[in-house]
Amino acid sequence: MTLDDDVRIARAAGRQSYGSQLAAAARRYPDRIALQLDDVRLTYPQLDRRVTKLARALAARGVGLGDRVAVLMRNRLETVQAYYAGLRLGAIVVPVNFRLVAAEVRYVLSDSGCAAVIVDAACAGVAAEAIDGLDPSPVVLATDGAEHHFRHADSFEAAVAQESDEPLCIDVDEGEPAFIMYTSGTTGRPKGAVLSHRNLTTVALLTSMSTGAVPEDQTSLLGVPMFHIAGVGSILPRLLTGARIVVYSPAVFDPVAIVDLLEREQVTNCFFVPSQWQAICALPGIKDRNLALRRIGWGAAPAQPSLLEALASTFPQAPAFTAFGQTETSATICLLRGEDALRKPGSVGQPLYGVEARIVDDDLNDVAVGEVGEIVYRGPTVMREYWNNPKATAEAFAGGWFHSGDLCRKDEDGFIWVVDRKKDMIISGGENIYCAEVEAAIDAHAKVAEVAVIGVPHEKWGQTPLAVVTALDPADPPTEAEIIEHCRGLLASYKKPTAVVVIDAMPRTASGKIQKYALRDRFSRQPEPRVPDQQPSP
């Protein structure tokens, strides 16, 4: 053995990639249940062996270090296995939103240059349409007999069954990419935030430490979509402490079914967006249920003070933690602990340990306490870059800090409040909708001259998109139905406008830009947008 070999082995011994954490957990918790969905349970060693076999199946099909593996699945045990199998190989996992239409999925697959796609039966039709014509064509593994949707695909289970569970020894540096998480950009095209193994492992350790997670009281419900950064970021912190993760799989949120599940499985830890917590707290008899909750979390959208009071009243034994962040910061960047929720109503808390946050003006100068500025970050949870987008990366890291696009203020105790967003974004039921992406779709309609999309208040979802358009021919303006139908094949359902207003001319600044604030002032009191079935249930 050479000196170089000795150095390489020594370096490998000091590494703990995101993927290797599962193998470590399997050795640490040999008798515990790791994952559960309905009546199916996998212990930590069983999950680890399944991941190894799937990783070997991918390797046998040519997937290796740095290759991209797209995962288009609903919440299921195989989704977790697919994530960890890709990471174990040193590949880069690309979670794909299962609500996207084929054109949107195709863009993600093409932009990431995926070498493989792992898909379930529910998403197979969309995936097959998206993959058709891609060159080179990716390897496809499909569950539940969905192989017939594709020209060339293998059975997920058959592929796993054929492989050995002999441990894989692949040295993956913590600084290498682990995930590419696509988040819509203001240009109308999604951007891929590249998160490293170090990013995700660090945020898992910091959130576990900050919330006081311990193995003795952890049965965790994973109820947010796993394609979302909140879903990805919820897995490893639980596995680090030997928790049992109960997976909630229905595509539509059902508060009655959720509470039944919380009670039946004696869940101690769960996270929902505010609209979901609102539905749970409103259930008749909720305070009389035999629940074991010891900590609860909310995030992804603002919560009204009335909801925070309802949470404290409904679950007095369970401190409510507020998680604030974004995809580019590996999910959580600030945390509001339960004891501060009512003392600092509306705050998103303070930065995690080890993360620097400043509130600055346009010249990157700190603003005074209480004044509004953009919050910028620096630390080990901040993404590496935007995939294949050096211009957007340079803009995001101007001045050596990551620019969040969020306008915030800070009080004298260091607690942070989000005031507004510099980025033009709507949060509807916990899902981010970027106006530029919706506008690009509507602008392609033959009858539309101009379009501006704004968020209007909605009692249940927080906000929904309203499209304000001018007609190319004022004598023949587009109808609301025409616009919404036009968007059906271009945008995921939750992104489509729920109402359309035709006006004669757009309000403009002196330089000719559309004044969206004027549109918000004019239409913020519109009647509740129609088409309620379009809204998401994260």
DSSP states along 364-393? SPBPPTT--EEEEEESTTS-SEETT-HHHH
Greater pLDDT, 245 or 536: 245
pLDDT at 9 over 50: no
Among residues 386, 354, 360, 389, which one has the least CA distance to residue 372? 360
Q: Of the spans 45-54, 299-308, 481-490, which averages the highest pLDDT?
A: 45-54
pLDDT at 188 over 60: no
Residue 536 · residue 494 · CB < 8 Å: yes
Average pLDDT over residues 232-237: 85
The sheet with strand 269-272 has its strands ordered as 40-43, 33-37, 244-247, 219-222, 269-272, 295-299, 320-326, 331-336, 350-351
Element (H, E) at 501: strand 499-502
Categorize the per-residue pLDDT at 428 as very low, low, confident or very high, splitting at 50, 70 and 90. confident
Q: Which residues contact 377 (CB under 8 A, 6 or more apart)?
A: 329, 333, 351, 355, 356, 357, 401, 402, 404
Distance CA 147, CA 125 (A): 10
The mean of the pLDDT values for the chain is 87
Categorize the per-residue pLDDT at 502 as very low, low, confident or very high, splitting at 50, 70 and 90. very high
Distance CA 339, CA 361 (A): 31
pLDDT at 523 over 90: no
Measure the CA angle with vertex 368, ends 367 and 370; round to 5°: 110
Average pLDDT over residues 86-97: 96
Identity of the residue numbered 227: F
Among residues 447, 428, 429, 425, which one has the least CA distance to residue 438? 425
Q: Of the spans 117-131, 218-232, 353-367, which averages the highest pLDDT?
A: 117-131
Distance CA 68, CA 116 (A): 7
pLDDT confidence of residue 160: 97
23-to-17, 43, 59, 247, 306 alpha-carbon distances in Å? 10, 12, 18, 20, 43
Average pLDDT over residues 287-302: 86
pLDDT at 186 over 50: no
In a 3-state reduction of DSSP, which class is residue 146?
helix
Identity of the residue numbered 338: G
List, in sequence order, every residue forming a beta bridge with 220; answer none if it has no partner: 245, 269
pLDDT at 517 over 80: no
pLDDT in tens, 454-470: 988 887 778 889 999 99
Categorize the per-residue pLDDT at 171 as very low, low, confident or very high, splitting at 50, 70 and 90. confident
Categorize the per-residue pLDDT at 530 as very low, low, confident or very high, splitting at 50, 70 and 90. very low
pLDDT at 522 over 50: yes
Distance CA 141, CA 82 (A): 10
pLDDT confidence of residue 133: 86
Residue 322: Cβ within 10 Å count: 24
Identity of the residue numbered 356: E
Residue 61: is it exposed, middle or buried by C-beta count within 10 angstroms (0-12/13-18/19+)?
A: middle
39-53, 400-414, 430-444: range with lowest mean pLDDT: 430-444
pLDDT confidence of residue 288: 93
Half-sphere exposure for 472 (CA within 13 Å, toward CB): 9
Distance CA 47, CA 244 (A): 12
Six-digit token string for 46: 């069983």
pLDDT confidence of residue 527: 47
Identity of the residue numbered 70: A
Categorize the per-residue pLDDT at 529 as very low, low, confident or very high, splitting at 50, 70 and 90. very low
pLDDT at 435 over 90: no
Categorize the per-residue pLDDT at 177 as very low, low, confident or very high, splitting at 50, 70 and 90. very high
- Match 């001259």 to its residue by tokens: 449
pLDDT at 230 over 80: yes
* Helix, strand, coil percent content, the chain, rounded in steps of 5: 35, 25, 40
Distance CA 217, CA 77 (A): 22
Greater pLDDT, 156 or 338: 156
pLDDT confidence of residue 8: 47
Average pLDDT over residues 246-254: 84
Residue 49 · residue 93 · CB < 8 Å: no
